A and B are shown apart, each in its own frame.
Chain A
Amino acid sequence: EVQLVESGGDLVQPGGSLRLSCAASGFGFSIYGMGWVRQAPGKGLEWVSYITNQMTTFYADSVKGRFTISRDNAKNSLYLQMNSLRAEDTAVYHCARGYCGGGCEAGRYFDYWGHGILVTVSS
């Protein structure tokens, strides 16, 4: 059974930093791309970042230069280092597995998701 479990969420002051982790199990982690998607309170889904199985990374403009995605295949783990946090980064952050659909020539969908972890940025 595929499982994705996020951790590391917390209350942090504006300008602060936080590192989220996602522990993956039940599938060959190293061969899949992985991503982070967030949902602010009362808002819709927002894609944050993605890392391919070849370590190529992609970021939303809203987090570029502040967030860094990484992975450790030996530990079956995905990470999101978040720096210079802003109030608008407050959200539930979901870890999700990338899915190519009919072919991997373009971007990705997400076929398995974690339940998410809350990050609150407030003074």
Chain B
Amino acid sequence: EILLTQSPATLSLSPGERATLSCRASQSISSYLGWYQKKPGQAPRLLIYDASNRATGIPARFSGSGSGTDFILTISNLEPEDFAVYFCQQRGSWPLTFGGGTKVEIK
């Protein structure tokens, strides 16, 4: 099973700032990594797939990078609606696994 470790656990930032979230895989997953946004009481939302591709309707301020074992989600110019929990997920091999999440909170 591929373990995904996200850091930091919590990121305290102000609107307009840049958020940088990390996801590290326990073994290489090529570019098979996605990112989701999750808000309380809502369904998760796919933001990025295959490391760097934005999903349909996702604003350009969300960007992803990385390959192999190290991946980054960047949210430039944080909007009020971006404060949420973010999860990474790998599809490189079964079983599918998620990271533990990074909470982006308002400072």
Q: Could you list which residues of chain A lie within 8 angstroms of chain B, going by C-beta atoms?
A: 35, 37, 39, 44-47, 50, 58-61, 94, 96, 99, 101-102, 106-111, 113-116
Q: For the complex, what is the distance from the CA of A106 to the CA of B93, rounded to whole Å?
A: 6
Q: Which residues of B contact A (CB under 8 A)?
A: 1, 31-32, 34, 36, 38, 41-46, 49-50, 53, 55-56, 87, 89-101
Instruction: Name B's interface SS.
Output: loop
A59 / chain B contacts, CB cutoff of 8 Å: 95
Is the pair B44, A110 in contact by a Cβ cutoff of 8 Å? yes
Q: Which residues of B contact A115 (CB under 8 A)?
A: 41-43
Interface SS, A side = strand
Rounded to whole angstroms, the CA-CA distance of A60 and B78 in the bound complex is 35
Task: A116 to B44: give the CA distance in the assembly, Å.
Answer: 10
Q: Name, among A50, A109, A114, the residue most crowded by chain B CB atoms within 10 Å (CB to CB).
A: A109
